[in-house]
């Protein structure tokens, strides 16, 4: 029987909901199963309510699911808030000695979490580890997988902490085996022991992509949901040749990355909407000075501070239009962890090929949700740095002109210090040599030269993914992290005999006009599904193709779409 199993761990901030959630996800991902995990937390350090959801399946999983098989309640509030999400035969694991007893109903499974932690591991902080052990025991999964993950995760805390955690987990595991044997009907069984998959979240994949692409400098100011990108690169950069600078503000971040890009290293910034607002002047600077820079914009609900720890896709138009004046740019939107890696690599190639900024749109949901995917094949990663002068050439060109006018608009790059070539550039309008000018002829020549790079960029568009179902009349259109839920919704609809087509955009700008026009002309009805209130993609489609999208399924409460929710909304508003 197919496995599709949902587990939620809930509690307050500080109870280690996230830590054990990740451990659970990693243990379940260890032997061939597919995992999708996400988290929901408040903008606070202690208290409140947080949860971590893990979905595990032997099929590919692209999104969360609302109905739970197991709810692990680390506090009473979790039971009250999520009881209704339980499937009819689902089980709630809770601490009957700590929470008030409800074990009368069959779905409640009381485990003395705190007592076992204190008795077995002599540490009540390990209550959450006992709970994970209980989940593994209850679902019939392999304890060795869990202990292997615990050993790895706690290794840096020393042997004793690691051993105690394994003991705590075993106590929960044994208790569940002994007392909860028949509570659950479904079991989670490993599929293959040798399948090498990796489990990581969107930001980890993005940061890895950046480092693999050869990004040597990241400058940033912490802001949810982007902070963990720089944190990861700062940590791993110590061993892998990356400089991460925690700067005074996002204005500095952007200008620093542009300074590094001008000097010849691949550089990036990662922020959210508020930080990006501060970077906008520097974005135009990159456009004017023809400096490659990659800008990661991790969206969260706005305007202003909005809902800092939640998700939205409200900055599509902002990314398209940010910056004063006219200059070429590319905007890519990441749909999943695979794209977070591959498109980030590509963004560095595009930025250097066209010597202009590239904006990578992600959002809180993708940034913080974990997925199992096939290990990235690093031998197939292509690094293409665009037109660079060799050291020899740079040294023999004392009259080098950084902004040489060419047909493609691309001027061969030298780096300052590379040789006798002097690299001069200016945020003022400048001549080919980079010195400021005010005459009309040079202005027109340079402005058009820069904009000609758009022609090349249009030839490098990453085409949207169009999945066509025979006879399907409706096309669902999405971009960014909603694409996973849209694809799963389409799968479910197909099973119900109501097949739909799906169209997912990765490249937002330059806009894939011809592709989208041809798909829309073929579909009798279309609907965008976006996490915003103004249907920004539908607006862009209208502007670029002249074609109207028929429906807009929109959501802006800061929570991600689930496949079930999409189907429900389609039934109500479209089908």
Partner 1 sequence: MVTMKDYGNSIPIAWCPGCGNFAILEALKKALVNIGLEPHRVLFVSGIGQAPKLPHYTHGNVFNGLHGRSLPAATGARLANHELVVIGVDGDGGAYGEGVGHLLAAMRRNINMLYMVHNNQVYGLTKGQASPTSDLGFVTKTTPLGASQPLNPLALALASDVSFLARGFAGDIEHLVRLLTMGIEHHGFALIDILQPCVSFNRRNTFQWYRERVYKLEDEKYDPADKMAALSKAQEWGDRIPIGLIYRNERPVFEEQFPALQKISLVKQKIDPSQFEVLLDEFE
Q: How far is the CB of 566 from partner 1 (least distance, A)?
A: 29
Angle between helices 202-212 and 337-354 (to 10 degrees): 40
Nearer to partner 1, 300 or 353 (CB): 353
Q: Provide, rounded to whole angstroms, the least separation between the CB of residue 145 and partner 1.
A: 12
Whole-angstrom Cα distance, residue 215 to residue 493?
A: 42
Q: How far is the CB of 359 from partner 1 (least distance, A)?
A: 19
Minimum CB separation of residue 196 from partner 1 in Å reads 6
Measured from the CB atom, is 178 or 239 closer to partner 1?
A: 239
Q: Give residue 109's Cα distance to chain centre.
A: 35
CB of 239 to partner 1, least distance (A): 7
SS (H, E, C) 6-30: EEEEEEEECCCHHHHHHHHHHHHCC
Q: Identify the H or E element spanning 266.
A: strand 266-271
Report the alpha-carbon distance of residue 145 to residue 31 in Å, rounded. 8
What are φ and ψ of residue 427, in 5° steps? Answer: -75, -20
Minimum distance from residue 278 beta carbon to partner 1 (Å): 11
Measured from the CB atom, the residue of 375 and 572 that comes closer to partner 1 is 375
The pairing of strands 465-467 and 474-479 is: unpaired
User: Which residue lies nearer to partner 1 by CB, 214 or 568?
Assistant: 214
Q: How far is the CB of 263 from partner 1 (least distance, A)?
A: 4
If the CB atoms of residues 289 and 536 are measured against partner 1, the closer one turns out to be 289
Judged by the rule CB under 8 A, the positions of this chain that interact with partner 1 are: 196-200, 204, 208, 211-214, 216-217, 219, 236-243, 245, 247-249, 251-267, 281-282, 285, 289, 375-376, 378-379, 381, 383, 385, 415-417, 419-428, 434-436
CA-to-CA separations, 31 to 22, 25, 28, 169, 173, in angstroms, rounded: 16, 11, 7, 19, 18
Least distance from partner 1 to the Cβ atom of residue 25, Å = 11
**C-beta of 69 vs 352, nearer to partner 1:** 352
Closer Cβ to partner 1, 173 or 370, answer by number: 370
CB of 47 to partner 1, least distance (A): 31
Choose between 394 and 537: whose C-beta lies nearer to partner 1.
394
Nearest to 68 by CA among 17, 6, 3, 131: 6
Q: How far apart are CA 147 and CA 171, in angstroms?
A: 12
d(CA 469, CA 466): 10
- Between 425 and 506, name the residue whose CB sits nearer to partner 1: 425
Per DSSP bridges, beta strands 370-374 and 357-363 are unpaired
Nearer to partner 1, 47 or 241 (CB): 241
Helix (H) or strand (E) holding 223: none
Whole-angstrom Cα distance, residue 205 to residue 198?
A: 10
Give the residue with the Cβ less far from partner 1, 431 or 565. Answer: 431
The Cα 117–Cα 323 span in angstroms is: 55
Shortest Cβ distance from residue 441 to partner 1 (Å)? 17
Q: Residue ranges of the alpha helices (H) in 157-222?
A: 159-179, 202-212
- Of 427 and 534, which CB lies nearer to partner 1 in the complex structure? 427
E-assigned strands of 506-550?
A: 507-509, 525-530
Question: Rounded to the nearest whole angstrom, what is the least distance from the CB of residue 563 to partner 1 in the complex?
Answer: 25
Distance (Å, whole) CA 167 – CA 133: 9
Q: Are 31 and 191 in contact (CB under 8 A)?
A: yes
CA–CA separation, 93 and 297 (whole Å):
38
Beta strands in 251-377 (DSSP E): 266-271, 293-299, 330-333, 357-363, 370-374
Q: Tell how strand 108-110 and strand 215-220 pair up.
A: unpaired
Torsion of CA 7, 341, 310, 549, to 10 degrees: -100
Minimum distance from CB of 376 to partner 1 (Å)?
6
């Amino acid at each position: 029987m197919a496995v599709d199993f949902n587990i939620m761990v809930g509690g307050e901030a500080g109870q280690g909901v996230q830590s054990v959630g990740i451990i659970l996800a990693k243990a379940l991902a260890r032997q061939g199963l597919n995992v999708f995990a996400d988290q929901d937390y408040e903008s606070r350090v202690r208290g409140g309510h947080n949860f971590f959801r893990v979905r595990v399946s032997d099929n590919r999983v692209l999104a969360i699911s609302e109905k739970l098989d197991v709810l692990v309640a680390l506090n009473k509030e979790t039971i009250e808030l999520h009881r209704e999400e339980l499937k009819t035969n689902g089980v709630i694991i809770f601490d009957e000695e700590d929470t008030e007893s409800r074990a009368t109903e069959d779905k409640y499974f009381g485990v003395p979490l705190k007592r076992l932690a204190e008795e077995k591991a002599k540490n009540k902080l390990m209550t959450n580890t006992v709970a994970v052990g209980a989940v593994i025991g209850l679902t019939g999964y392999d304890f060795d997988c869990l202990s292997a993950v615990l050993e790895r995760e706690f290794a840096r805390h020393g042997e004793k902490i690691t051993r105690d955690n394994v003991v705590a987990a075993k106590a929960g595991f044994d208790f569940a085996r002994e007392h909860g044997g028949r509570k659950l009907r479904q079991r989670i069984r490993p599929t293959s022991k040798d399948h090498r998959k990796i489990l990581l979240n969107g930001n980890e994949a993005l940061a890895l992509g950046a480092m693999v692409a050869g990004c040597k400098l990241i400058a940033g100011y912490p802001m949810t949901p982007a902070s963990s990108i720089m944190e990861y690169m700062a940590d791993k950069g110590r061993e892998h040749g990356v400089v991460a600078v925690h700067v005074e503000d996002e204005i500095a971040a952007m200008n620093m990355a542009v300074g590094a890009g001008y000097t010849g290293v691949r550089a990036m910034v990662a922020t959210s909407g508020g930080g990006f607002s501060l970077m906008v002047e520097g974005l135009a600077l990159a456009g004017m000075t023809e400096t490659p820079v990659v800008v990661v914009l991790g969206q969260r609900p706005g305007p202003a501070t909005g809902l800092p720890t939640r998700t939205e896709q409200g900055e599509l138009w902002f990314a398209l239009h940010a910056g004063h004046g006219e200059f070429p740019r590319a905007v890519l939107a990441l749909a999943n962890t695979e794209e977070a890696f591959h498109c980030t690599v590509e963004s560095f190639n595009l930025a250097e090929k066209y010597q202009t900024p590239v904006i990578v749109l992600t959002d809180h949901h993708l940034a913080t949700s974990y997925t199992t995917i096939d290990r990235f094949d690093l031998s197939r990663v292509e690094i293409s740095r665009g037109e660079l002068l060799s050291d020899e050439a740079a040294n023999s060109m004392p009259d080098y002109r950084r902004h040489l006018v060419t047909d493609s608009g691309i001027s061969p790059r030298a780096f300052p210090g590379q040789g006798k070539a002097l690299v001069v550039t200016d945020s003022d309008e400048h001549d080919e040599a980079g010195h400021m000018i005010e005459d009309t002829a040079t202005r027109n020549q340079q402005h058009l030269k820069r904009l000609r790079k758009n022609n090349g960029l249009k030839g490098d568009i990453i085409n949207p993914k169009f999945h066509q179902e025979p006879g399907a009349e409706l096309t669902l259109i999405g971009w960014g992290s909603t694409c996973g839920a849209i694809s799963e919704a389409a799968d479910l609809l197909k099973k119900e005999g109501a097949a739909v087509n799906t169209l997912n955009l990765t490249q937002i700008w330059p806009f894939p006009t011809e592709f989208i026009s041809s798909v829309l002309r073929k579909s009798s009805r279309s609907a965008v599904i976006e996490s915003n209130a103004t249907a920004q993609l539908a607006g862009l489609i209208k502007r670029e193709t002249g074609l109207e999208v028929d429906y807009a399924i929109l959501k802006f409460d800061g929570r991600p779409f689930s496949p079930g929710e999409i189907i429900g909304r389609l039934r109500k508003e479209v089908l």
